[in-house]
């Protein structure tokens, strides 16, 4: 199942720069692992914003939920999920 996921990061004011950077390193490692596994299929920065537009390929809704809940930055993000299906004019 394919989903478009939009994430906007809201850096917390109660963490030091070092504490937040440590979370960002964990997030980067997890994001790279999910990309290597073929789960995080596309990851695009939204120009001018601390936000991304992503495509996830997962087994089911529960799988997507588990993947998103495990994001180290999840507590500091607004996340929006849109289910995708085949476009009738797509040649893929």
Ligand X SMILES: O=C(O)C[C@H]1C=CC(=O)O1
- Interacting residues toward ligand X by CB under 6 A: 7, 9, 27-28, 31, 52, 73
Least Å distance between CB 38 and ligand X? 16
Write out the two tokens for 45: 């920065």
* Residue with Cβ nearer ligand X (31 or 41): 31
Q: Which of 29, 25, 33, 27 is nearest to 52 (CA)?
A: 27
In the complex, minimum distance from the CB of residue 32 to ligand X, in angstroms, rounded to a whole number:
8
> Cα–Cα distance between 65 and 63 in angstroms, integer?
5
Residue whose C-beta lies closest to ligand X: 52
């Amino acid at each position: 199942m394919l989903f478009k996921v939009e994430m906007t990061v809201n850096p917390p004011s109660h963490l030091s720069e070092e504490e937040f950077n440590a979370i960002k390193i964990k997030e980067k490692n997890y994001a790279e692992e999910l990309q290597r596994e073929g789960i995080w299929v596309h990851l695009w920065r939204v120009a001018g914003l601390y936000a991304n537009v992503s495509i996830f390929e997962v087994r089911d809704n529960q799988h997507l939920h588990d993947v998103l809940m495990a994001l180290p930055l999840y507590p500091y993000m607004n996340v929006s999920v849109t289910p995708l299906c085949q476009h009738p004019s797509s040649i893929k």
